[in-house]
Amino acid sequence: MTNQDPTTDATTSSTTTSPATGGVRQLRLVVEAVDYDEAVAFYRDVLGLPEQAAFQGEGGARVAILDAGRATLEIADPAQKRMIDDVEVGRQVAPALRVAFEVDDAAATTSTLVEAGAEEIAPPTETPWRSVNARLKAPAGLQITVFQELEPLENRSARTELGTDGNRS
């Protein structure tokens, strides 16, 4: 079902708001890392997230802000979270928060991340929603998914077999 209202994004069920009118400009996920150097090296140097800024404060306080490209906030109900775990891993393993990174080659990225110290929870697997996803336990206590899209969002959204409701991506 296509929404004809030009102020409503066809992939969402709510009206969009531009940053100029008070909407969100950036999603920033803040993660406490006990081993700061290990986490920065993993996410910046191995995964390849460019450093935007880094700051130091009193008492040895440090932060690095890494650019993860475009951000989305994916909100899933418990049934969807279980289904994603079942598809990606084959069992329930994800905490309430999991970070996903879109990459060009999920298999190669998974290998690189494992070589750098990540623990593979599940290998790259093609999902019903036409992506290749791998699950890893990464530094700073994060469970991450690296995923590679196999076809454009427009194609996936149009597929009735993926169970889209016409209002979401």
| 56, part of any domain | yes
Residue 11's pLDDT is what?
42
Domain count along the chain: 1
| 10, part of any domain | no
Task: Give the domain extent around 145.
Answer: 19-162
| 4, part of any domain | no
Positive or negative, the Cα torsion across 166, 147, 46, 96? Answer: positive
* CATH assignment of the domain containing 54: 3.10.180.10
| 104, part of any domain | yes
pTM comes to 0.76
For residue range 111-124, what is the model confidence (pLDDT) as tens digits? 999 999 999 999 99
Nearest CA to 48 out of 102, 7, 2 is that of: 102
Which stretches of the chain drop beneath a pLDDT of 50? 1-15, 17, 164, 166-169
Residue 3's pLDDT is what?
39
Residue 8's pLDDT is what?
37
Residue 32's pLDDT is what?
94
Nearest CA to 29 out of 90, 87, 73, 78 is that of: 73
Residue 169's pLDDT is what?
36
Tell me whether strands 62-66 and 119-126 are parallel, antiparallel or unpaired. Answer: unpaired
